[in-house]
């Protein structure tokens, strides 16, 4: 079991550290608070824990339906475009006001983590494929092993999100207002790009369903 958990953590890290919407939001919120990543990870966990246990109970077939990924992709793309545009609009503002100008401001990093996780179709795809294999293997050791897997995976999320927000905060304090504005610009552009990709992929799925 311990060998499996070590493998599961390493596999989880490959998904956790991959650049994505949550990464960009951790950096954006981290420019104001080093602890924002913790709240974002909590929001992410609110989505991910039920998803893990749902897969264990047998809902993988539902998540694998093209229509589910398509709907989530459209909603996710719209949310990302909205947040990315808000970040870019905040760039000309003073750094102290920039986080407040974000669509999901500094008072709600947990909400940002929750919404972006729920609206990310690739999260569903990862758990419906790679994640399901891990859950099935954990299930061979019993339900407790599935709980341990879920906690271990979320701990990877927590450590990574906190590292990102703490690093962004440290860089902002050290390099000043200009650094924070550049950070917001890069993160905003990244969210827009990912949002467009979500909508493009969803559009391809819609065409495939119609044809």
Q: How many CB atoms lie within 10 A of CB 94?
A: 11
pLDDT of residue 180: 62
The answer to whether position 130 is within a domain reads yes
Least confident among 85-89, 143-147, 174-178: 174-178
- Kindly report the length of the chain: 211
Distance separating alpha carbons of residues 121 and 144, to the nearest angstrom: 28
Q: By residue range, what is the domain housing residue 61?
A: 22-210
The answer to whether position 14 is within a domain reads no
Distance separating alpha carbons of residues 9 and 210, to the nearest angstrom: 39
The arithmetic mean of pLDDT across residues 191-195, rounded, is 79
The answer to whether position 203 is within a domain reads yes
Q: Is 56 helix (H, G, I), strand (E, B) or coil?
A: helix
The answer to whether position 105 is within a domain reads yes
The chain-wide mean pLDDT, for the chain, equals 78
The arithmetic mean of pLDDT across residues 92-107, rounded, is 48
- Tell which residue, 210, 203, 211, has the closest CA to residue 70: 203
The answer to whether position 68 is within a domain reads yes
The answer to whether position 11 is within a domain reads no
pTM over 0.75: no
Distance separating alpha carbons of residues 48 and 30, to the nearest angstrom: 22
- How many domains, in total, are found in the chain? 1
The answer to whether position 12 is within a domain reads no
The arithmetic mean of pLDDT across residues 114-126, rounded, is 83
Residue with tokens 């003073």: 94
> 78: which residues sit within 8 A by CB, 6+ positions away?
195, 199
The answer to whether position 176 is within a domain reads yes
Least confident among 14-18, 123-127, 132-136: 14-18
């Amino acid at each position: 079991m311990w060998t499996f958990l070590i493998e599961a953590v390493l596999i989880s890290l490959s998904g956790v550290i991959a650049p994505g919407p949550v990464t960009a939001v951790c950096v954006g919120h981290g420019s104001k608070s080093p602890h924002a990543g913790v709240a974002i990870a909590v929001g992410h966990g609110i989505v991910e824990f039920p998803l893990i246990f749902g897969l264990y109970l047998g809902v993988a077939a539902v998540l694998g339906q093209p229509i589910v990924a398509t709907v989530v992709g459209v909603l996710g793309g719209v949310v990302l475009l909205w947040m990315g545009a808000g970040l870019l609009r905040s760039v000309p503002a003073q750094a102290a006001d920039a986080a407040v100008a974000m669509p999901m401001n500094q008072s709600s990093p947990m909400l940002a983590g929750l919404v972006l996780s729920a609206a990310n179709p690739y999260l569903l795809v990862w758990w419906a494929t790679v994640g399901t294999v891990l859950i099935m293997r954990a299930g061979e050791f019993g339900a407790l092993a599935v709980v341990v897997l879920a906690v271990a995976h979320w701990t990877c999320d927590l450590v990574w999100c906190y590292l990102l927000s703490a690093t962004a905060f440290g860089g902002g304090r050290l390099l000043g207002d200009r650094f924070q504005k550049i950070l917001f610009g890069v993160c905003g552009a990244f969210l827009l790009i990912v949002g467009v990709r979500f909508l493009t992929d969803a559009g391809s799925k819609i065409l495939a369903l119609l044809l």
